[in-house]
Amino acid sequence: MAIAFDITENTQLAKDHFNQVAREQMRPISRKYDDQEHDLPTEWVDWWWKEGRKGAPGKYDGPQDGFVTVCVQAEELCWGDAGLYLRMPTPALGGSAVGAAGTPEQRDKFLKAFREDGQPIWGAMAITEPGAGSDSAAIQTTADWDEDAQEWVLNGTKIFCTAGEGASTVAGGFVVVWATVDKSAGRGGIKSFVVPANTPGMTLVGTEDKLGIRASDTATLTFDNCRVPGENLLGRREVKKQDPAKSAGDKGFKGAMATFDASRPVVAAMAVGVGRAALDFVKEELARQGVPLRYDAGPREQTALERDVIEMEAELQAARLLTWRAARLISLGKPNNLEASMAKAKAGLAVTGITQKAVELLGPVGYSKKLLVEKWMRDAKINDIYEGTQQINQLIIARRILDYPSAMLR
Active site residue ranges: 387
- Of 398, 394, 391, 386, residue with least CA distance to 271: 386
> Ramachandran region of residue 111, left (φ > 0), alpha (ψ -120 to 50) or beta?
alpha
For 90, phi and psi rounded to 5 degrees? Answer: -145, 165
| Contact between 126 and 102 (Cβ < 8 Å) | no
Of 319, 383, 390, 387, whose CA–CA distance to 82 is shortest?
Answer: 383
| Residues, the chain | 410
Cβ pair 106, 94 in contact under 8 A: no
DSSP E strands, 38-139: 123-126
- The rounded distance, in Å, linking the Cα atoms of 400 and 385 is 20
Q: Which residues, in sequence order, are CB contacts of 63 under 8 Å at separation 6+?
A: 328, 331, 332
Angle 136-386-217 from CA coordinates, rounded to 5° = 110
Residue type, 20: Q
Q: Are 198 and 171 in contact (CB under 8 A)?
A: yes
List helix spans (H) across 158-296.
164-169, 251-288
**Angle between helices 9-21 and 66-80 in degrees, nearest 10:** 20
In angstroms, the CA 254 to CA 244 distance is: 15
Distance (Å) of CA 279 to CA 29, 232, 315, 406: 20, 44, 11, 38
| Angstrom distance (rounded) from CA 77 to CA 85 | 6
The three-point CA angle 184-158-214 to 5° equals 150
Would you say the C-alpha torsion 263, 342, 410, 210 has a positive or negative sign? negative
